[in-house]
Amino acid sequence: MSQANFLTGTDTEVGKTLIAAALLRAAAAQGLRALGMKPVAAGGDEDVDALVAAGNVAAPRELINPYLLREPLSPHLAARRDGTAIDLERIARCFGELRGRADFLIVEGAGGFRVPLGDTHDGADLAARLGLPLILVVGLRLGCLNHALLTAEAIRARGLPLAGWVANQVDPAMACVAENVDTLRARLPAPLLGVVPFQDHPNPAQVATLLELPE
């Protein structure tokens, strides 16, 4: 059975795609068949392109990204404006087809863990439907401690395991970075997979050297 994880973040713009691509590159460097999935992309397909470039397995684009929405809005709003609805079962079918193609699969969620995907379901429902262990990307900036701990609590409430977390510094001026990481290391019930310092031009290949794969 291949290894698959659902990657989420403490918020939007915390570097989820960067970390997902870096993990895929790290897996590929270990000789694994690595493949990324972005079920919902809103406002462009740059994230999808990054995941495709980082993996080493070819797969149909419509499986990797079942929903490409035009506007950079919360997915439920972007889908409504596009006249469509995000169907978790369709995503689950695409995931099932992809899983057999790879040894290491990353499913990157949209926004934060509880971002709405429709009138009655959200990102947490998608993670639960797929039944995958979570990787949490913590965007290191003021407020990240609360966001990280609340997200971990929400993951636990869904009965999903937290396989690991990554500290990604998104604010170059953040004070007490090491102290914040130490605080989260003591409080989050999962291993720290890596600390990524702020980068003006993030490079997934370089970031891959800073990360460990989840067990």
Residue 70 and residue 136 in contact, taking contact as beta carbons nearer than 8 Å: no
Q: Are 38 and 8 in contact (CB under 8 A)?
A: no
Query: E strands along the chain, which residues?
Result: 3-9, 34-37, 40-42, 67-69, 104-112, 134-140, 162-169, 192-196
Residue pair 16/166 in contact by the 8 Å Cβ criterion = no
Which of 11, 15, 23, 38 is flagged as catalytic? 38
- According to DSSP, the residues that pair with 36 across neighbouring strands are 106
Determine whether 16 is an active site residue.
Answer: no
Contact 163, 215 (CB under 8 A): yes
- Residues annotated as catalytic are 38
